Amino acid sequence: MRAVLWDYGGVLTTSPFEAFLAYEKANGLEPGFIRRVNATNPDTNAWARFERSQVGVAEFAELFETEARAAGGEVDAAAILAALRGALRPAMVRAVERCRQHVKTALLTNNFTSAAREADAHESVLELFDVVVESSKVGYRKPDPHFYRHACQLLGIDPSEAIFLDDLGINLKPARAMGMRTIKVSDPATALAELQEMVDFSLD
């Protein structure tokens, strides 16, 4: 392996889905409602367009709130965005630091070019990566295969030389099809144990 590629929200930080659940609980929505809205027309809905910088904050809010109403609920898009910044997972950050001492590193994140950008909460973490690929800047998002190919080209590697960690199976599937070794991050400790088995250096 010549590179380890990392997702941001849900891998280096606590999951944004936790923020969704907290919002749903506080506002009387069924658990999973926001994820259900985002799973409807996932390539063309408000969230997808926002992460590709095809709409601004105001237009996103209007579109997303309309989609939520169509799904049977009322939401405040601005409040949801404000809640997305998760807490860093120290063990994951340490693993990135150790990986960078031995192999190339890249951050692959679907994010927003606004005050709500998930990476803005911890800008110093970005310095740990040789390459940072953001959907809001490249104009396409995971799980689009172009996203992964772009990252590999920037790193100067073949996909078969990379390990990719993400918390969503839908994002791992195309990476795996391209030849990457993949790790689904459900439990951070388990994911790091899997990563440890794939590399020939210590993550401690």
pLDDT in tens, 74-93: 999 999 988 887 788 999 99
Label the pairing between strands 162-166 and 3-6: parallel
Is-contact 181 162, C-beta < 8 A? yes
Q: Which of 37-41, 119-123, 172-176, 195-199 has the lowest mean pLDDT?
A: 119-123
Q: Burial letters for 59-88: b for 16+ Cβ neighbours within 10 Å, e otherwise? A: ebbebbbebbeeeebebebbebbebbbbee
Domain ranges of the chain: 3-14+87-198, 16-82
Please give the class, per CATH, of domain 16-82. Answer: mainly alpha
State pLDDT tens for residues 95-140.
999 999 999 999 999 988 654 444 444 677 888 999 999 999 999 9
Q: Is the pLDDT of residue 166 over 90?
A: yes
Nearest-Å Rg of the Cα atoms of the chain is 17
Domain 3-14+87-198 belongs in CATH node 1.10.10.10: no
Q: What is the pTM of this model?
A: 0.85
Average pLDDT, the chain: 92
- Residues 141, 51 contacting (CB under 8 angstroms): yes
Q: Which residue has the tokens 């998002």?
A: 141
- How many H helices and E strands in the chain? 10, 5
